[in-house]
Amino acid sequence: MAVKLDGKKLSQKIAVQLQQDVEKLKFLGVTPKLAVVLVGDDPASQVYVRNKRRMAQKIGIETSDLTLPAATSEAELLQTIAKLNQDSTVHGILVQLPLPPQINEETIIQAINPLKDVDGFHPYNMGKLFMGDPYAIPCTPNGIMQLLSEYRISLTGKKVVIVGRSKIVGRPLAALMINHNATVTVAHSYTKNLFELTRRADILVAAVGRAEMFTQTAIKSGAVVVDVGINRNDAGKLVGDVDQMKVADVASYLTPVPGGVGPMTIAMLMKQTVKFAERSVKGIGND
Ligand SMILES: Nc1nc(=O)c2c([nH]1)NC[C@@H]1CN(c3ccc(C(=O)N[C@@H](CCC(=O)O)C(=O)O)cc3)C=[N+]21
């Protein structure tokens, strides 16, 4: 049976550490503040925004939730971002993706001040990450790295297969893992003989968004399996991209869904916000 990579537990541990960091900041007169911009009323996005608000409250991070109507124009959203860029009390800005079709995501991401870009999606931050000198790291990939590190799973010399090439997971995770000396292959919808490839992986990361598509036949015995998927199955139950029951028998470690990568994503968002606030205060923080 695979050992569970418990993201929920680790996220709670991180929250306790962050509470202390925030107390110090408050003593110095700074309250970390995260602005979350949500355009429209996608129910999945609302759940995510609610979870973020709850963890921020627990840690003592101030949040400002800006919910704009689904018909908001690109110009209006750009104005909102310009205001947040100028507001010196705001340390982090997150624009929830996906955006409605009338708004160009790249245009919006590029409008965010890279120094306030808690998602790490700005081309400046993506570039820094790919150069091996990150400033802000995308939250889901960062959460996966923290989780592997917590369980002492080393990346050096490992064969990693990441299935999915999105800008929020696959690409930045590949960059991070290369920085940590892994041999990384990124597979996607055009990859041929996918399971032949995944069966060779020491570490498999499933980030495609298709319910339970990876079963035991896709996995090498003893592999580490990271399940990034969040899907609803036919019964309306929350399931990952991995068939958890079947894969748990062959994998050495496995992230559950829920309670794996999801809570780690939120914890990393909080950590990044606190880091940005620390950087605004001279002489404290690690970098
Ligand atoms: N600008 C931007 N940045 C993001 O990081 C971003 C985004 N947009 N858009 C949507 C995706 C999705 N995402 C999730 C994060 C945590 C959970 C999460 O907390 N999941 C819990 C609970 C899930 C549940 O109960 O529904 C779990 O897996 O245990 C889910 C989804 C961040 N994303």
Determine which residue's CA is closest to atom 19 belonging to ligand 1. 262
Determine if ligand 1 sits within 6 Å of the CB of residue 265. Answer: yes
pLDDT of residue 131 exceeding 60:
yes
pLDDT tens by residue, 15-67: 999 999 999 999 999 999 999 999 998 877 887 888 999 999 999 999 999 99
Helices (H) and strands (E) in the chain, counts: 10, 11
What's the average model confidence in pLDDT over 232-254?
A: 96
pLDDT of residue 282 exceeding 80:
no
Task: Output the pLDDT for position 27.
Answer: 97
What residues act catalytically?
Answer: 52, 96, 119
Domains of the chain in sequence order: 28-115 (3.40.50.10860), 139-262 (3.40.50.720)
Express as a percent the part of the chain with pLDDT over 70: 98
pLDDT of residue 121 exceeding 70:
yes
pLDDT of residue 276 exceeding 60:
yes
pLDDT tens by residue, 163-196: 999 999 999 999 999 999 999 999 999 999 999 9
- Asked whether 223 and 201 are in contact (CB, 8 A), the reply is yes
What's the average model confidence in pLDDT over 126-136?
A: 97
Query: Pairing mode, if any, of strands 33-39 and 62-68?
Result: parallel
Which residue intervals of the chain are DSSP H helices? 7-27, 43-59, 74-86, 105-111, 123-130, 139-150, 170-179, 194-198, 244-248, 261-279
Query: Average per-residue pLDDT in the chain?
Result: 96
Task: Output the pLDDT for position 287.
Answer: 52
Residue 205 CA, ligand 1 centroid: distance in Å: 16
230 is in an annotated binding site: yes
- Asked whether 277 and 91 are in contact (CB, 8 A), the reply is yes
What's the average model confidence in pLDDT over 82-100?
A: 97
What's the complex ipTM? 0.96
Residue 96 CA, ligand 1 centroid: distance in Å: 10
pLDDT of residue 214 exceeding 90:
yes
Query: Per-residue confidence at 285, pLDDT binned at 50, 70, 90?
Result: low
Task: Output the pLDDT for position 233.
Answer: 87
pLDDT of residue 283 exceeding 90:
no
Task: Output the pLDDT for position 47.
Answer: 79
